[in-house]
């Protein structure tokens, strides 16, 4: 399977899950996966939400931030992956002055 994200329109989300600021994403979604190259812009966040569809894996490409999963804080920087298991609650915050760029993969269960 080949997914060409160049052919998927970029969407902008203000205050995702009651977060702050904006994020941009190109989303691939089928019955098994959700794959999302994402940029959380400076000052932006994804608000706390329950991860219902499957395990949410976020690989950080550039920028800095924080993730909170079930109340545990994790520092985000290039080369690390934040994993929020299904049924957990998490949020992601861009703490830097540049976009927090990540590849999000949700394996649906």
pLDDT (tens digit per residue) in 10-67: 999 998 899 999 999 999 999 999 999 999 999 999 999 988 888 999 999 999 999 9
Q: How far is CA 46 from the centre of its chain?
A: 8
Q: Is the pLDDT of residue 6 over 90?
A: yes
Residue 44: other Cβ atoms inside 10 A: 23
* Whole-model pTM over 0.85: yes
Q: Which residues contact 82 (CB under 8 A, 6 or more apart)?
A: 57, 58, 60, 67, 69, 74, 76, 90, 92
Residue 103's pLDDT is 98
Query: Do the domain assignments include residue 4?
Result: no
Q: Is the pLDDT of residue 98 over 80?
A: yes
Count of domains observed in the chain: 1
15 lies in which domain range? 10-108
Query: Do the domain assignments include residue 17?
Result: yes
Query: Do the domain assignments include residue 65?
Result: yes
């Amino acid at each position: 399977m080949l997914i060409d994200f160049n052919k998927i329109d970029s969407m902008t989300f203000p205050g995702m899950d009651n977060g702050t600021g904006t994020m941009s994403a190109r989303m691939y979604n089928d019955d098994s996966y959700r794959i999302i190259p994402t940029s959380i812009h400076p000052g932006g966040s994804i608000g706390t939400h329950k991860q219902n569809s499957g395990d949410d894996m976020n690989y950080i490409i550039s920028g800095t931030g924080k993730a909170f999963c079930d109340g545990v804080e994790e520092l985000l920087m290039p080369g690390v992956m934040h994993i929020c298991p299904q049924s957990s609650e998490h949020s992601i915050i861009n703490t830097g002055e540049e976009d927090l760029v990540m590849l999000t993969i949700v394996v649906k269960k």
